[in-house]
Amino acid sequence: MTFSIVGRDGDAYGVAVASKFLAVGSAVPAARAGLGAVATQAYANLAYRGAGLALLAAGATSAETVQRLTDDDEGRDDRQVGVVSGSGGTSFTGPSCHAWAGGRAGDDYAVQGNILVGEQVVEAMEAAWASSAGQPLVRRLLAALSAGDAAGGDRRGRQSAALLVGRPGAGYGGDDTEYDLRVDDHPDPVPELVKLVDLHDLYFGEPDADALLPLEGAVADEVRALLAKLGHAGDDLDALLDTWAGSANFEMRLRPGSIDPVVLDQLRLGRT
The closest alpha carbon to 165, from 34, 253, 265, belongs to 34
Give percent above pLDDT 70 in the chain.
100
Rounded mean pLDDT, 106-135: 98
Q: Across all residues in the chain, what is the average pLDDT?
A: 97
Rounded mean pLDDT, 152-170: 96
Beta strand 160-166 with 12-19: parallel, antiparallel or unpaired? antiparallel
pLDDT of residue 100: 97
Rounded mean pLDDT, 170-195: 96
Q: Render the burial of 231-254: b for 16+ CB within 10 Å, e for the rest.
A: ebeeeebeebbebbbeebebbebb
pLDDT of residue 40: 98
pTM over 0.75: yes
CATH dotted code for 2-204: 3.60.20.10
Rounded mean pLDDT, 250-255: 94
E-assigned strand segments in the chain: 2-9, 12-19, 29-32, 36-42, 79-85, 88-93, 102-106, 109-114, 160-166, 177-183, 213-214, 258-259
Domains of the chain, by residue range, sit at 2-204, 209-268
Determine contact, residues 151/144, Cβ cutoff 8 Å.
Answer: no
Q: How far is CA 12 from the centre of its chain?
A: 11
